Amino acid sequence: MDVKEFHEVLKILESDARTSAKQISDMTGIPRAEVSKLIKQAEDERIILKYKAIINWEKVVDEQVWAWIEVKVTPEEEVGYDAIAQRIYRFPQVASAFLASGTYDLVILVNGRNMHEVGDFVAQKIAPIKGVQEVTTHFMLKRYKEAGAILNGEEEVKRQPVVL
């Protein structure tokens, strides 16, 4: 496998996951079958984890609530933070989870239908876990940018249609 070609395919998919194998082939000169093989390989090796859309939920009636939750924990012997992190991130309500430096150890992103649902989840599922010392929940008020995409207020700049 050509590492450069592999990176090129990944970069194209990262900027638009819907780019087809044929399009990628036309853009790179890598044969279509080879592109498909590289994508399959990336999926198998869990280099590509998932294909998902970035959605501006604020424009949809069915709004969701997001919270950024800082969790201070006591690391366990031998497994350190990983075991307790796993106990937390296995809940489907947890969209992302990170180990962080600083005042808190774990930072997790949680979503729910409303504040109650998220509050209950934190109080009933996260806080009681053995080793969790402290939980701080920050509800998100407004989303400006998500995965590199600016949600609102980005106007398209018009170019001169023909310049010689």
Which residues bind to other proteins, rule: CB under 8 A? Answer: 8, 11-12, 16, 19, 23, 26-29, 157, 159-164
Give least dist CB 36 to other proteins, A.
17
Q: Looking at 42-93, which runs of residues are DSSP E strands?
A: 65-73
Q: How distant, in Å, are the alpha carbons of 35, 37, 50, 57, 65 from that of 152?
A: 35, 37, 25, 11, 18
Instruction: Choose between 92 and 153: whose C-beta lies nearer to other proteins.
Output: 153
Cβ-based nearer residue to other proteins, 50 or 159: 159
Decide whether 19 or 64 has the Cβ nearer to other proteins.
Answer: 19
Shortest separation between residue 13's beta carbon and other proteins, angstroms: 12
**Least separation, in Å, of the C-beta of 161 and other proteins?**
4
26-57 in b/e form (b: 16+ CB < 10 A) is eeeebeeebbbebbeebeeeeebeeeeeeeee
Q: How far is CA 161 from the centre of its chain?
A: 37
**What is the closest distance, in whole angstroms, from the C-beta atom of residue 143 to other proteins in the complex?**
19
Residue number with CB closer to other proteins (30 or 108): 30
